[in-house]
Amino acid sequence: MADVATLGRREQTKSQNRQAILDAGRAVFAELGYDAVTVRDIVRRTGLASGTFYNYFRSKEEVFAALADDGARRFAPVIKHLREQAVGFESFVRAAISAYFEFIAEERRLWLEGRPAGESARVLPRETPEMQAVFGEVRQAIQAAAGGPGGVPDADPDYMAAACIAIARDVGDVMTTRRPPDIAGAAEFASAMILNGLRGLPQRREA
Amino acid sequence: MADVATLGRREQTKSQNRQAILDAGRAVFAELGYDAVTVRDIVRRTGLASGTFYNYFRSKEEVFAALADDGARRFAPVIKHLREQAVGFESFVRAAISAYFEFIAEERRLWLEGRPAGESARVLPRETPEMQAVFGEVRQAIQAAAGGPGGVPDADPDYMAAACIAIARDVGDVMTTRRPPDIAGAAEFASAMILNGLRGLPQRREA
Amino acid sequence: MADVATLGRREQTKSQNRQAILDAGRAVFAELGYDAVTVRDIVRRTGLASGTFYNYFRSKEEVFAALADDGARRFAPVIKHLREQAVGFESFVRAAISAYFEFIAEERRLWLEGRPAGESARVLPRETPEMQAVFGEVRQAIQAAAGGPGGVPDADPDYMAAACIAIARDVGDVMTTRRPPDIAGAAEFASAMILNGLRGLPQRREA
Amino acid sequence: MADVATLGRREQTKSQNRQAILDAGRAVFAELGYDAVTVRDIVRRTGLASGTFYNYFRSKEEVFAALADDGARRFAPVIKHLREQAVGFESFVRAAISAYFEFIAEERRLWLEGRPAGESARVLPRETPEMQAVFGEVRQAIQAAAGGPGGVPDADPDYMAAACIAIARDVGDVMTTRRPPDIAGAAEFASAMILNGLRGLPQRREA
DNA sequence: AATGAATGAGAATTCATTCAT
DNA sequence: AATGAATGAATTCTCATTCAT
């Protein structure tokens, strides 16, 4: 945690500083939530001088965007892999939900670990830039698959994407509040809800 | 508990100020969004002196909470009425979803009406304290009905409530971005997604 | 000098604060010059809290403008009196020039008094908001009188005003650098330059 | 003193950088005005590294001073030529004023050309370092000629120089605000004002 | 209670200057 | 010499909160 802060400033090369800011940003976004975060919070966490921040980013918005970008870059292949790996839409949904639930349970665990017992999470893992990016990927995947051969019904793709992500996100949120979180049970629930929900949807064209 | 008619003059003024602050809070939360709102914004809107605010609330958080409370009190009977009116869970879901979608579409319309064309909505109707309260009511309703005679399956009630609300909320959000919003279509989509989704859920007890 | 700063804050009434800011503004504008002055400089000088400044003015620009306004209000009657008092334009010019030169010599004297010997003036008295206002008054007076019965020639009034003020200002500047300043001599010089200069001007209409 | 041809390669580069900084300084002083200019502005314009600036100048003040020096060196012969060319003081004044007014009108025109219509000039040509230098030259010329055979009266030379320059400068400023600027008229006005003004001046010695 | 001016901590941002490379 | 990232003091401005009236 204090690693970055305890490094001498001089030793940090240029790209290390950029990374230090991103790391600090990730940490404080997770800790305080996007709106509560100030540029100062990020800077403080890096141990850099305040002016240095502005050599890399113009605002916390840019940091968030860069983080989301990073996330998208890292997760896009994972999602892609999941889709290729899976036989049919159903197995894709189950795999994606499981991966997501495991990820947020782990994030939550890490978060609670570093905290005094009384303090409860203020920010949900799914609000991190990375997760925003993942949601974007999934949305695109569903929208692309709508009405296609994968088994996704020919209903409104925006509605479908919104509904699927909403279920995963909010069931996941409930799951992470449980001690211990029942990852398998929650994943089974969310997957069933999504798959059955989609299955019964009215088709857009012809019966 | 204390009837308005039984309040003396002084208490009248007192509660008028409280109400003025709540009204102002509702307005600015809707206008600016929770995070962007400052106590000054609320106070300015009331015309009261800034110090007066602190006679009634300690922070904007308290105002928001009071508003949500108000909402809960006002909407609880509406929800109840909807449930009593409906024959079975399905017709309750359809009625509730339709009512909600109509409400947010109307809110959105009113919002856009008062704006120059270019400006897009910054705050979603469902983020208002009142809607938070409605979601709470619905959550309780579903949780109470789980596994009961109304047709709600015997699955995890927290997950079910979360999933149902999530679908309604996020499909509703997508709907309100469309010009014109297809209320009936979106309601049909969300209802089908919820009802079919729930129907296929694994039961908790027995096979 | 420290009077204002040593007063307790509480004792200062609202209008006293406004005045304190204006006084501080006048002092620091004279000391540092308009561009170099920061809001902080003004605030520091008042002993008030930084936020208090913004209860009265939005920027140093507003302070300067208020000061100039003040100056205009105070000097307008003086100029007017000078004009009424004077028989003809010539005696007005002589009186105005003398008054001006006496004023800046005095300002300069006061300024030097409070300074260590080595330090030279950084800001000319004529750059104060008050003097800006006076120049404005004089400009209007000359422009109004052009071609009229007072003896002001019928040449371009803007050019005349600019030239007269320019002479007074710059000869005055040179005068104040002399030890001791020869007020009478400089006034005689400037008056002669202005009056003879104007006298020989080509008329605008007819020979 | 050191001829360019005698400079070695290294010195060549050195003086190229110095010149680049001066050029950039001239440009940004003209564009932004002295006070608004930052060292960064100058450096940015050169394309050099920020640290390099400090190998040549210690501050923007030094750049301005060097520019003024340059100007003085370049304009001194021009002024001298004007004086030698002219028969008598009057023709010198007329020639100098005309040259000056043509110069600032042209500068103004060039400035406005590169601007959107709404934007008005922020920096006066006469505030450039070069013009400061020219004024210095003229001041010396007048001071040197005072009471001499050229027709300059035997009055206080500092006052005379100040008054003449003041008239030219401020009438010129007014002229450049007019669309189109009446160069000939303004020059006639300023020349007449100066020459008649000087003519009537009280002599210093003898009655 | 109500008032509203005063407060001062804290946020964003800029920029002259340094200094390791 | 040249480079240019790092520095951190300085500046503007906002806002929750207090408190004398």
CA A29 to chain centre: 12
CA-angle at D23, arms to D18 and D28, nearest 5°: 125
C-alpha to C-alpha distance for A44 and A42, rounded to whole angstroms: 5
Which of the four pLDDT bands, split at 50, 70 and 90, describes residue A116?
Answer: low
Task: Identify the CA nearest to B161 among candidates A166, A196, D16, A141.
Answer: A166
C-alpha to C-alpha distance for D36 and D38, rounded to whole angstroms: 6
Burial A92-126 (b: 16+ CB within 10 A, else e): bbbbbbbbbbebbbebbeebeeeeeeeeeeebbbb
In this prediction, residue B50 carries a pLDDT of: 97
Respond yes or no on whether the N-terminal peptide bond of residue D116 is cis (omega within 30° of 0).
Answer: no
pLDDT at C41 > cutoff 70: yes
C-alpha to C-alpha distance for B79 and B169, rounded to whole angstroms: 16
**What is the radius of gyration, based on Cα positions, of chain D?**
20
pLDDT at B9 > cutoff 80: no
pLDDT at C207 > cutoff 50: no
In this prediction, residue C129 carries a pLDDT of: 86
Q: What is the average pLDDT across A61-75?
A: 90
In this prediction, residue A6 carries a pLDDT of: 42
Q: What is the average pLDDT across A131-147?
A: 85
Number of Cβ within a 10 Å radius of residue B52: 14
More confident residue, D59 or C118: D59
Task: Identify the CA nearest to D109 among candidates D3, D47, D180.
Answer: D180
For residues C64 and C57, is the Cβ–Cβ distance under 8 A?
Answer: no
- Candidate from B185, B192, B202 with C-beta closest to A192: B202
pLDDT at C166 > cutoff 70: yes
pLDDT at B4 > cutoff 50: no
- Cβ contact A–B (≥3 pairs, < 8 Å): yes
Q: What is D4-58's CATH superfamily? A: Homeodomain-like (1.10.10.60)
**What is the radius of gyration, based on Cα positions, of chain C?**
20
Which chains pack against D, by 3+ Cβ pairs within 8 A? C
Contact check, Cβ <8 Å, D194/C194: no
pLDDT at C2 > cutoff 70: no
For domain A3-58, give its CATH number from 1.10.10.60, 3.40.50.300, 2.20.25.160, 3.90.850.10: 1.10.10.60
Task: Identify the CA nearest to A24 among candidates A51, A55, A64, A69.
Answer: A64
C-alpha to C-alpha distance for C74 and D108, rounded to whole angstroms: 36
pLDDT at C192 > cutoff 60: yes
Those residues with Cβ within 8 angstroms of residue D16's Cβ, 6 or more apart along the chain or in another chain: none
pLDDT at B193 > cutoff 60: yes
Which of the four pLDDT bands, split at 50, 70 and 90, describes residue C114?
Answer: low
Contact check, Cβ <8 Å, C158/D165: no
pLDDT at C39 > cutoff 50: yes
In this prediction, residue D48 carries a pLDDT of: 96
In this prediction, residue D167 carries a pLDDT of: 98
The CATH architecture to which C67-199 belongs is Orthogonal Bundle (1.10)
For residues A124 and A202, is the Cβ–Cβ distance under 8 A?
Answer: no
Predicted TM-score (pTM) of this structure: 0.85
Tell me the nt nearest to A55, Cα to C1'.
F5
Determine which of B35, B154, B191, B193 to mutate to test the interface with A (most A C-beta atoms within 10 Å).
B193
User: How far off is chain C from D8, nearest CA to CA, in Å?
Assistant: 42
pLDDT at A35 > cutoff 80: yes
Residue C8 CA to F18 C1' — how many Å? 17
In this prediction, residue D96 carries a pLDDT of: 93
Q: What is the average pLDDT across B50-56?
A: 97
Q: Which residue of B has its CA nearest to A170?
A: B162
F chain positions with any atom within 7 Å of a protein CB = 1-21
Report chain B residues whose CB lies below 8 A from the CB of A199. 196, 200
Report chain D residues whose CB lies below 8 A from the CB of C195. 200
In this prediction, residue B130 carries a pLDDT of: 86
In this prediction, residue B29 carries a pLDDT of: 93
- Candidate from C35, C173, C198 with C-beta closest to D162: C173
Residue D71 CA to E13 C1' — how many Å? 36
CA A142 to chain centre: 17
Report chain B residues whose CB lies below 8 A from the CB of A35. 35
E chain positions with any atom within 7 Å of a protein CB = 1-21
Q: What percentage of chain D has pLDDT greater than the value 90?
A: 52
pLDDT at C118 > cutoff 60: no
More confident residue, A43 or D31: A43
Q: Which of residues 71-130 of C touch strand E (CB under 7 A)?
A: none
pLDDT at D122 > cutoff 80: no
Tens digit of each residue's pLDDT (9 = 90 or more) over D134-187: 888 888 888 888 888 877 889 999 999 999 999 999 999 999 999 899 999 999
Structure tokens at C78: 């003086």
Q: What is the average pLDDT across A91-112?
A: 89
Q: Residue for token digits 């936020």? A: C51
Determine which of C97, C126, C159, C178 to mutate to test the interface with D (most D C-beta atoms within 10 Å).
C159
Of B132-136, D29-33, D114-118, give the lowest mean pLDDT range: D114-118
Which of the four pLDDT bands, split at 50, 70 and 90, describes residue A145?
Answer: confident
Locate the domains of chain D by residue range.
4-58, 68-199
In this prediction, residue A135 carries a pLDDT of: 85
**Most confident of the following: B130-139, D114-123, D152-161:** D152-161
C-alpha to C-alpha distance for D48 and A68, rounded to whole angstroms: 35
Q: What is the average pLDDT across C103-113?
A: 84
pLDDT at D110 > cutoff 90: no
Q: What is the average pLDDT across C147-172?
A: 92
Residues in chain B: 207
